[in-house]
Amino acid sequence: MIAMAADPDQSAATLSDIVRDRRAELGLSLREAEERCVDPETGKPVSRAYINSLEKATPNLEPPTPARLRALAAGFGLPLSLLQEAAGRQFYGVTTVWEASGKARAFVARFEELGEDDQDRVLAMLEAFAAAKPKAE
């Protein structure tokens, strides 16, 4: 599986790279990818023609809409934030800065997968650690 959270090198991947690699990893045909990549909010699939063009990084390709990104995330089992960052990098030249070890990125990716109650518990734990840290004089 793509080591999206902890691998600092993954942060340089384009959306095209991620989609192409993930489809190959899952062993999906374009038709199967189209069947899986359905926006959970609208029920609209991403066409196999778009997936194919995206994988080939076709020049002048239309940037993905939020619905397409949600569909790709759902269909390929990837965090939406990973695809959003990669799309921003590929289509708009936006680079997200993370610390070198990848730990903060891994934390954020896993945090977003938690339910609201668990997120609240994690935040309380972080506050407790921060409060217990000796103050610098």
Distance CA 57, CA 20 (A): 10
Beta-bridge partners for 45? 38
User: What pLDDT, in 10s, does the model give residues 5-33?
Assistant: 334 445 578 999 999 999 999 999 999 99
pLDDT at position 13: 87
Q: How many of the other CB atoms lie within 10 Å of CB of 133? A: 8
Residue 117, both tokens: 């109650």
Nearest CA to 86 out of 99, 105, 113, 100 is that of 105
Q: Is the pLDDT score of 4 beyond 50?
A: no
Residues of the chain above pLDDT 90, percent: 64
Which carries the bigger pLDDT value, residue 80 or residue 8? 80
- For residues 30-42, give the mean pLDDT: 98
pLDDT at position 103: 78
Q: Which amino acid is at 130?
A: A
Residue 120, both tokens: 């609240």
Q: Which amino acid is at 23?
A: R
pLDDT at position 51: 98
Judge residue 77's burial from the number of C-beta atoms within 10 Å of its C-beta, 0-12 exposed, 13-18 middle, 19 or more buried. Answer: exposed
Distance CA 57, CA 77 (A): 21
